Amino acid sequence: MELTAKQLARILKGTVEGDPQATITSFAKIEHGKSGQLCFFANPKYENYVYTCKASILLVNNDFQPKKPVAPTMVRVENSYEAIAQLLKYAATKKRTSGRHRGFRSSYFLTSKFGKKVYLGSHSYVGHHAYVGDYTKIYENVYVGDDTRIGKNCIIYPGVVIYPGMVIGDNVIIHANAVIGSDGFGNVPQSDGTWEKIEHLGNVVIGDNCEIGAGTTIDRAEMESTIIGNGVKIDNLCQIAHNVQIGDNTVMAAQCGIAGSAKIGKNCILAGQVGIVGHIVIPDHTTIGAQAGVIGSPKKEGETLLGSPAIPVKEYMRSYAVFRKNGKEGL
């Protein structure tokens, strides 16, 4: 999809400040914007990125008054967060195409490419322009969407759903009924109290030597990529939200939930039922105990955190001693 600032302003009922012929072909977060991309500015805490953004077009609110020069062409709208949701919906509508399943035992298209000795189980489907690497096994009842790339020596167990455009590295194991690339939970509140869905046009990138547990869901990004690093091991029934980044060799036990845009460092350990709020950073080599709730970015690498809200283990044990003492005195 290619749009000029002038066309965007017409679609979004906004005004152009800068070059009306500035053109975009994709979307990005404001901190990552490059030439040919569109970004949006809605949250004041990201204002510093406005002045360093290299995107071609930037959506901003009508009342935004820049304190420094802004390089991108700005398209001013009433509400930039609602506008980006509207634009993503517009782009998603243009992107969708209808098709027919053409197989009865397994199905793939002439545009799909397969490496050596690939196994494709019955009632599995591989979409247009997909690629499956050497010696990969795709078991029964698996869906692989268009434009997806799966590396070599992978094992995709029955019932797995891989949405279009996903990227999966080499030596990856995905267990039964995992879902890779579903939309993130993104909605914009409307003035009448309803919610407008934010379309997600990004993807999921899974590195080499990863294992994804049964029933786990990994949501695709709104605009860029949800990233699972090399060597990551994720247990059953975990939820990884949109735009999350998980560093190499991090492990995660069952029923963990990671909210959108959180960044988990390398070589971290998350025990069962850990919850992490969105937009925070977990340093490398952090260990988080079972059922802990992390609501802020820890300051040091290598800490062990316990409790909800999670705090360093020594602080937690001192606090726990007080809890027990007070509890006994209250009996």
| pLDDT, position 327 | 65
In a domain? residue 107: no
- The rounded distance, in Å, linking the Cα atoms of 234 and 245 is 13
What average pLDDT score do residues 19-24 get?
96
- Phi/psi for 93 (5° steps) reads -65, -40
| pLDDT, position 16 | 97
| pLDDT, position 96 | 58
Tell me the DSSP string of 138-163: E-TT-EE-TT-EE-TT-EE-TT-EE-
| pLDDT, position 209 | 98
| pLDDT, position 257 | 98
What average pLDDT score do residues 138-164 get?
97
Number of alpha carbons in the 13 Å side-chain half-sphere of residue 249: 5
| pLDDT, position 100 | 46
In a domain? residue 139: no
* pLDDT tens sequence across 255-307: 999 999 999 999 999 999 999 999 999 999 999 999 999 999 999 999 999 99
Average pLDDT across the chain, whole number: 93
Tokens of 65: 């008054």
| Residue finishing a domain among 41, 68, 95 | 95
* pLDDT tens sequence across 218-238: 999 998 999 999 999 999 999
| pLDDT, position 93 | 79
Tell me the DSSP string of 247-292: -TT-EE-TT-EE-TT-EE-TT-EE-TT-EE-TT-EEPTT-EE-TT-
pLDDT at residue 326 above 90? no
91 and 172 housed in the same domain? no
Tell me the residue range of the domain where 17 lies: 3-95
What average pLDDT score do residues 20-34 get?
94
| pLDDT, position 321 | 85
- Phi/psi for 57 (5° steps) reads -135, 140
Run of H or E including 6 = helix 5-12
CATH number for the domain harbouring residue 235: 2.160.10.10
189 and 289 housed in the same domain? yes
Model's pTM, two decimal places?
A: 0.85
* pLDDT tens sequence across 51-108: 999 999 999 999 999 999 999 999 999 999 889 988 988 888 776 544 444 444 677 7
Instruction: Show which residues are catalytic.
Output: 242
Number of residues in the chain: 331
In a domain? residue 21: yes
| Residue finishing a domain among 80, 95, 110 | 95
Three-class SS state of 113: strand
Q: Maximum CA pair distance of the chain?
A: 74
186 and 289 housed in the same domain? yes
Banded model confidence at residue 190, pLDDT cuts 50, 70, 90: confident
- The rounded distance, in Å, linking the Cα atoms of 181 and 164 is 8
218 and 311 housed in the same domain? yes
| CA neighbor of 55 nearest in space, from 245, 223, 186, 280 | 223
Question: What is the tally of structural domains in the chain?
Answer: 2
Three-class SS state of 112: coil
In a domain? residue 113: no
176 and 273 housed in the same domain? yes
In a domain? residue 143: no
pLDDT at residue 330 above 70? no
Contacts of 289 by beta carbon, 8 Å cutoff, 6+ apart:
271, 274, 304, 305, 306, 307, 310, 313
| pLDDT, position 98 | 44
In a domain? residue 197: yes
* pLDDT tens sequence across 109-130: 778 999 999 999 999 999 999 9
